[in-house]
Amino acid sequence: MHVTGTHFTPFADRTDAGRRLAALLGHLGGPDTVVVALPRGGVPVAAEVAQALDAPLDICVIRKLGVPYQPELGMGAIGEDGVRVLNEQVIRLASVSDAQLAGVERRERTELERRARRYRGDRPPADVRGRTVVVVDDGIATGSTARAACRIVRERGAARVVLAVPVAPPDWTDRLAEVADELVCVDTPSPFFAIGEFYADFSQTGDEEVLRLLAEARERERDRKQRNQRDRKSGRARGDPTAATPVDRELVLTAGGVRLAGRLTVPAGALGVVVFAHGSGSGRRSPRNRYVAEQLNRAGLATLLFDLLTEAEEPDRRKVFDVGLLGSRLTAVARHLGAGADSASASRPDPDVDGVPETRHLPLGLFGASTGAAAALHTAAELGPAVRAVVSRGGRPDLAGSEVLARVSAPTLLVVGSLDTTVLDLNRRAGSRLRCESELAVVPRATHLFEEPGTLDQVAELARNWFLRHLPEPVPRP
């Protein structure tokens, strides 16, 4: 399978390239996926992919064999485990002798061994046997290094090899189709001369940056394993079968005397539950909120997408902007979930609420869009510590009012597009009235609906990181 993005614009840097590439790889998320980077330039790209897929990050050290008098032109590559790939056509056209080839290979083998020791230390390579391995670089030129990397992970036992890069020549699939099961690229512009021409910043990636990104990935992997272990133990301790059983079902909630439809998704061992408050007449089928919810599910968070208004009420613009009405219904639904039941305010009985057993013990977060952001802040002020975190996407927190904003105690993240200037100004003003921990995240080149390529992925990443930072209980120190 070959996937290529559309509407290509140059990458700001390798981090931007990684985010845009990750947007094409969501179908690969899962516990059996490993991301393998080609150092050094591929590591910042792969770090974004690994974080988006919640997958381990490893390296596959490859050295290009450059033509002696034109080292940027690859005539082959060498890699770990003794892998050697030669491009006989380049060697022949460049008139490279056997002695010259041997000399280049000797130098590059020395550097390969140095980098392997430097980056990996005494840690063995990731165990890829029977797993899906996503091989990532910052781009394809001749394809020799990518070919070598795919051969290495295949020989180490990978069940499926995916080669993923931000940019490549138009004919890259013809060159590399036989070494990978799937080829993924953001775009294949023509004419194509060099990878760097498609990056605004293509400065060299240093060893220190590679080591930092690998260390951060190891830390995330340790945290993920600890959370999973804790949640499994927690589920067994409380005899809660839903702790280990994924749930994905439609449900009907009663709030304020009306019945509201929703979609509940609870991954196995969920770390928390995020309730989505839609705005401006939108509902549980909002493609943007559904996309963000799917990314949260991949990160181990349960989600509830539901309609704040009935079908009969949706045409009434007065109700769409009635923050008091929306907030009271959202509050009732939050109590219905039973989330944060240890809080005095959340434990008060609600005559409309029967309870949802799958979420009864999960910490609660709120995600609000447009007017739904004001409703989320209304509920956060009402429920106090029962709400652990709030995220607003292109929201109108100003509609909640100064008195409500001042009572919010939950850490709040306001996400706005840089081109959504009016709403950005309203968020700055509302943020100044919050007394809780809060941040304003501005997504570059994004308008109000985050329809520009890659911008909604940035929203999902920001939301995921915020909720993972604030929802789960701290892992006990040994």
Q: What is the pLDDT of residue 308?
A: 81
Window from 150-154, 211-215, 245-249, 393-397 with minimum mean pLDDT: 245-249
Contact 152, 80 (CB under 8 A): yes
CA atoms of 73 and 311, how far apart (whole Å): 62
Q: Tens digits of per-residue pLDDT, 255-276?
A: 777 887 788 999 988 889 999 9
Q: Mean pLDDT over residues 382-392, rounded?
A: 93
CA atoms of 277 and 308, how far apart (whole Å): 7
Window from 6-20, 43-57, 101-115, 150-164 with minimum mean pLDDT: 6-20
Q: Which residues contact 139 (CB under 8 A, 6 or more apart)?
A: 41, 165, 166, 167, 168, 195, 198
Angle in degrees, CA 335, 337, 339, rounded to 5: 80
Tell whether omega for the bond before 444 is within 30 degrees of 0, i.e. cis: no
Residue 143 has pLDDT above 90, yes or no: no
Residue 144 has pLDDT above 50, yes or no: yes
More confident residue, 294 or 352: 294
Q: Helices 287-298 and 455-470 sit at what angle, rounded to 10 degrees? A: 50
Q: Which residues contact 169 (CB under 8 A, 6 or more apart)?
A: 140, 141, 188, 190, 192
Q: Could you tell me what percent of the chain has a pLDDT over 90? A: 41
Please check whether the two domains, 2-223 and 243-470, share a CATH topology. Answer: yes
Q: What is the pLDDT of residue 126?
A: 87
Contact 246, 268 (CB under 8 A): yes
pLDDT class for 48, splitting at 50, 70, 90?
Answer: very high
| β partners of residue 249 | 264
pLDDT class for 164, splitting at 50, 70, 90?
Answer: very high
Q: Helices 207-237 and 98-120 sit at what angle, rounded to 10 degrees? A: 40
The backbone torsions φ and ψ at residue 311, rounded to the nearest 5 degrees and listed phi first, read: -60, -35
CA atoms of 426 and 398, how far apart (whole Å): 6
Residue 2 has pLDDT above 50, yes or no: no
Q: What is the pLDDT of residue 346?
A: 38
pLDDT class for 175, splitting at 50, 70, 90?
Answer: confident
Paired tokens of 247: 């749930």
Q: What is the pLDDT of residue 122?
A: 78
Q: Tens digits of per-residue pLDDT, 279-294?
A: 655 566 778 888 999 9
| β partners of residue 347 | none
Q: What is the pLDDT of residue 347?
A: 39
Paired tokens of 472: 């789960």
Q: Tens digits of per-residue pLDDT, 362-375?
A: 899 999 998 889 99
Contact 154, 146 (CB under 8 A): no
Q: Looking at this protein, which amino acid is placed at residue 96?
A: V
Contact 431, 264 (CB under 8 A): no
Right CATH for 243-470 from 1.10.3720.10, 3.40.50.1820, 3.40.50.1980, 3.40.50.300: 3.40.50.1820
Q: Which residues contact 296 (CB under 8 A, 6 or more apart)?
A: 274, 303, 460, 463, 464, 467
Paired tokens of 297: 């599910």
| Nearest alpha carbon to residue 310 among 292, 325, 297 | 325
Span 2-223: which CATH code? Answer: 3.40.50.2020
Q: What is the pLDDT of residue 317?
A: 67
| β partners of residue 265 | 248, 303
Residue 309 has pLDDT above 80, yes or no: no
Q: What is the pLDDT of residue 345?
A: 39
Q: What is the pLDDT of residue 349?
A: 39
Q: Looking at this protein, which amino acid is placed at residue 404?
A: V
CA atoms of 194 and 168, how far apart (whole Å): 9
Residue 222 has pLDDT above 90, yes or no: no
Q: Mean pLDDT over residues 150-175, rounded?
A: 91
β pairing state of 62-67 and 57-59:
unpaired
In the chain, what are the domain boundaries? 2-223, 243-470
pLDDT class for 87, splitting at 50, 70, 90?
Answer: confident
Contact 183, 1 (CB under 8 A): yes
Residue 353 has pLDDT above 50, yes or no: no
| β partners of residue 187 | 167
Residue 312 has pLDDT above 60, yes or no: yes
Paired tokens of 302: 């349960």
DSSP character at residue 11? B
At 275, is the secondary structure helix, strand, or coil? strand
Q: What is the pLDDT of residue 136?
A: 96
1, 70, 86, 104 from 90: Cα distances, Å? 28, 11, 9, 14
Residue 319 has pLDDT above 80, yes or no: no
Q: What is the pLDDT of residue 339?
A: 47
Residue 220 has pLDDT above 50, yes or no: yes
Q: Helices 42-53 and 14-22 sit at what angle, rounded to 10 degrees? A: 40
Q: Looking at this protein, which amino acid is placed at residue 282?
A: S
Residue 204 has pLDDT above 50, yes or no: yes
β pairing state of 70-79 and 84-86:
antiparallel
Most confident of 114-118, 261-265, 415-419: 415-419
| Average pLDDT score over the chain | 83
Place of tokens 């061994």: 113
Contact 308, 319 (CB under 8 A): no
